[in-house]
A and B are shown apart, each in its own frame.
Chain A
């Protein structure tokens, strides 16, 4: 149990375009989803926390207008990188926490590697 599907696993886009990344909890209800960004050889950086049906809470330094997060249902959260630039190239990972966190803890998606050219 507790599977999170993240899609796409990799994407290449042109500078100035927008890219949407989906994160789905397949067999549990994810009341909270987290989005992380991983820079090469660095640790994960929490970007934002989203709760179903409410606006995401962004970490300091993360541009909310650039990284749009939507958590419209208990099984789906999306991260849209708007007007992407090469410096946005990174590995993005979502994680989800379910209602029964004691059993599930946090389940991570497989990540999305974004390359902006």
Chain B
């Protein structure tokens, strides 16, 4: 069945460092891909999405490119801030409309 694998955390970086959180997926057909963020004590928020191959989703300085050839959707940000500390979930939505989530990656940004 469909699945999402993302790098395990926690990931700890200093402010202004470059961030990459890896995400790969397994799916039949052409899923839509998402990154969600969960700040402490809050629910999930959609961070960005891509619906077809080579699409780049971007928001708040984060970006991810839908790579069909490598079945990947890695999340990147050039310069992280303390306020980016959160848990990040990679997810896909396949033909049955269900969202399949990765296990989440906890990100800590040190001032």
Show the binding face of A for B, using Cβ within 8 Å: 6, 32, 34, 41-44, 46, 49, 93, 95, 97, 102, 105-111
Contacts and interface: CB of A to CB of B under 8 A. Distances in A.
Provide the main secondary structure of the chain A interface. strand
B98 A34 contact: yes
Given A106-B93, A111-B43, A43 B98 contact: no
B69 to A, nearest CB: 24
Contact of A46 (B34, B45, B51, B99): B99
B25 interface: no
Contacts of B45: 108
Interface residues of B, number: 21
Contacts of A93: 43-44
Given A34-B98, A44-B89, A97-B97, A108 B104 contact: no
Given A97-B97, A106-B93, A43 B102 contact: yes
27 contacts: A32-B97, A42-B103, A43-B89, A43-B101, A43-B102, A44-B44, A44-B89, A44-B101, A46-B100, A49-B97, A93-B43, A95-B99, A97-B97, A102-B51, A105-B34, A105-B46, A105-B93, A106-B34, A106-B46, A106-B93, A108-B36, A108-B43, A108-B44, A108-B46, A110-B42, A110-B43, A111-B42
Contact of A105 (B32, B89, B101): B32
